Amino acid sequence: MGTALQIEDREERLSRARAALGAAERSAARWGGRIDRTALQPSARPVSEAADDGLGTRLPVPEPLQALFPRGSLRAGSSVALEGAASTSLLLSLAVAAAGEGSWCAIAGMPDLGLRSAMDAGLDPCRLALAPADGEQRPQVLSALADGVGVLVLGPDLDLAPALWRSLLGRARTADTLVLAAAPPGRADLTLRAAAQGWSGLGRGSGRLRRRRLEITAEGRGVAGHRTAEVLLPQVDGMLAAVPSAASERRPAMQLLPSVRRAG
């Protein structure tokens, strides 16, 4: 009975979100703009598939970052702020892991983000909404997205007022929407700060920059003090990877084969 009520409530929120986006589309059309509504489809992820530990639905995170989060996952309806280097890549990596294969993701404040980059990171373009970062209807559009998608990504080019930020967090908590934001104007449940530790790929005057090493520090609700992890970015598929241990980076020592006596 509880699952049926949750699904019905989700459908009602989606109906309100589609209505709000419809009004925003009509307003944007007057200026030649367009809002991508592909994420707002009526097939929501079944509640039974979500991981619920009794304290709320838990969402997965990239494996190299699990040590940074309480219980190695994120709570649906919570918020994460990212600061420092590679904020766009980290936002996309967290969004891909949390959205999974059945949830919807909306991105605002990343006007230079292309669909190819989103696909390379692992996002499903059929469940991806790209929202404009400006315009008169921006607060209504962001509020509708917070009500209707599973993961809301707010990029670094989105100039949010503190009041709107608090309003979005309140809506996200009610709708179990995960909010991932680059340097928001207020506090988030968790804050990740990334510092570049160097690049690899260049030889002595030749080669290309291939990967960079990041040190990420987490602090906030559920984290005593702070936690730190080192990752490599990007990999071939655009995701994060753990920094290999010193032992695994060493080359195996050269071994001499025993001499063989000649016959005769």
pLDDT at 207: 64
Residue 16 pLDDT > 60, yes or no?
A: yes
Task: Please classify residue 90 by burial: count the beta carbons closer than 10 Å to its beta carbon, then call 0-12 exposed, 13-18 middle and 19+ buried.
Answer: buried
Residue 22 pLDDT > 70, yes or no?
A: no
Residue 42: pLDDT band (50, 70, 90) is: very low
pLDDT at 228: 92
45-68, pLDDT tens digit by residue?
433 345 655 567 899 999 999 999
Using CA atoms, how far apart are residues 32 and 28, in angstroms rounded to an integer?
6
Amino acid at 104: W
Residue 120 pLDDT > 70, yes or no?
A: yes
Average pLDDT over every residue of 242-247: 68
Fold for the domain defined by 2-42+56-201+210-244: Rossmann fold (3.40.50)
Residue 198: pLDDT band (50, 70, 90) is: confident
Average pLDDT over every residue of 178-182: 96
Residue 31 pLDDT > 60, yes or no?
A: no
Task: Please classify residue 36 by burial: count the beta carbons closer than 10 Å to its beta carbon, then call 0-12 exposed, 13-18 middle and 19+ buried.
Answer: middle
pLDDT at 10: 66
Closest C-alpha to 14, from 80, 106, 101: 106
Residue 30 pLDDT > 50, yes or no?
A: no
Q: Which of 20-24, 51-55, 76-80, 247-251 has the highest mean pLDDT?
A: 76-80
Using a pLDDT cut of 90, give the percent of the chain over it: 35
Residue 149: pLDDT band (50, 70, 90) is: very high
Using CA atoms, how far apart are residues 202 and 44, in angstroms rounded to an integer?
46
Average pLDDT over every residue of 148-156: 93
60-117, pLDDT tens digit by residue?
999 999 999 988 999 999 999 999 988 888 999 999 999 988 889 999 988 888 788 7
Domain ranges, ordered by start, for the chain: 2-42+56-201+210-244
Residue 156 pLDDT > 70, yes or no?
A: yes
